[in-house]
Amino acid sequence: MYPKILLVYNPDSGKRRAAQMLEPIVTNLSRAGALVTAVPVKTGPGTAALLDEGGFDALVCCGGDGTLHHAFNDVLAAKRRVPVGYFPFGSTNDFASTMGLTGRGVEEACAAIAALRARPVDAGLANGTAFCYIAAFGMFTDVSYQTPQEAKNLLGHFAYIAEGARRLNLAQGWRVRVEADGLSMDDEFWYGSVTNTKFIGGMQLPESLGVCLDDGLFELLLIRRPKTVAELQRLITCLMTQKPDGDLLCFARTKRVRLCFGAQTPFTLDGEEGPQERETVVEVLPGGVGLLM
């Protein structure tokens, strides 16, 4: 039997490289024995319905981490949960770097995907919406979806850095009550994230060697807003050395996080704009998606 693959691509990702690579990807998947149907990326229930109606054996996406975010949601929304393949062509590709998917040749990647050998990876749920590697609030978290696409195509990852520098406001903070396994905090924070990755925005996560994508645990990272110059200096040291102190820079592993905000607060899920909430519950879905390796 030939595996039937639904290939979803984002033509704007990675300086439009996903669109440029579409023909060799389809060609090599076909040579590896797969029957391929290629469609441009779309949000909403459309792709999940295609999976169900077309009897596909896998969903493969070409694009950035945001494209993968939609693929995870589509697979989890479908009646039959199929594995996901990923060709990373975004500007940052945090999840792909964690999984070791970057740097592979097209022929090698296509052969691995067509073999349909899937590795279970944990997925996340933020108030019921799925994400693959990060749910975050606070400073810089809107950069990925508010940076103009033209700048991303022209500058790639440097566009995010420039946009983040433009938005820097050290006086800003987010009032949050955080409840997780064995942890309770109520303070003002610059940043908070619940992740299943070794990299955030191209930077390595503290204690990344302990990150495991199928252990049923996500990593909680909190950066508390310093209130004095001494605290600011201590936080800078923690960030530079990547050594959490449990106070200004807090790091923990957890199955569930409850975040209660002082006001409606926007969230980002895998770099995509999420809802604005007063309360967000983030949970791990162990082995929720099979990733074709």
Short-list 161, 127, 128, CA closest to 144:
161
Q: What is the pLDDT of residue 136?
A: 87
Right CATH number for 4-116 from 2.70.98.50, 3.40.50.10330, 3.90.110.10, 3.40.250.10?
A: 3.40.50.10330
In SS3 terms, the chain reads as CCCEEEEEECCCHHHHHHHHCHHHHHHHHHHCCCEEEEEECCCCCHHHHHHHHHCCCEEEEEECHHHHHHHHHHHHHCCCCCCEEEEECCCCCHHHHHHCCCCCCHHHHHHHHHCCCEEEEEEEEECCEEECCEEEEECCCCHHHHCCHHHHHHHCHHHHHHHHHHCCCCCCCEEEEEEECCEEEEEEEEEEEEECCCEECCEECCCHHHCCCCCCCEEEEEEECCCCHHHHHHHHHHHHHCCCCCCCEEEEEECEEEEEEEEEEEEEECCEEEEEEEEEEEEEEEEEEEEEC
Q: What is the pLDDT of residue 141?
A: 60
The strand pairing partners of 282, in sequence order, are 126, 257
Query: What is the rounded CA–CA span in Å between residue 77 and residue 83?
Result: 13
Q: What is the pLDDT of residue 161?
A: 36
The tokens of 170 are what? 């050290």
Residue type at position 188: E
Query: What is the rounded CA–CA span in Å between residue 148 and residue 165?
Result: 15
| Global pTM exceeds 0.95 | no
Q: What is the pLDDT of residue 45?
A: 56
Cβ partners under 8 Å of residue 9, min gap 6: 18, 19, 22, 38, 39, 40, 41, 61, 62, 63, 67
87 close to 109: Cβ distance less than 8 angstroms: yes
Query: What is the rounded CA–CA span in Å between residue 84 and residue 57?
Result: 9
Q: What is the pLDDT of residue 10?
A: 85
Per-residue pLDDT of the chain (293 residues; tens, 9 = 90+): 789 999 999 887 756 777 788 999 999 999 999 999 999 886 555 788 889 899 999 999 998 888 899 999 999 999 999 999 999 987 778 888 888 888 789 999 999 999 999 999 999 999 999 999 999 888 766 544 344 444 344 333 333 333 444 444 566 778 999 999 888 999 999 888 899 999 887 777 777 778 899 999 999 989 898 888 888 888 888 877 888 898 988 999 999 999 999 888 888 898 887 778 899 999 999 999 999 98
79 close to 95: Cβ distance less than 8 angstroms: no
Domain 130-287 of CATH type 1.10.260.40: no
Domain coordinates of the chain in residue numbers?
A: 4-116, 130-287
Q: What is the pLDDT of residue 223?
A: 85
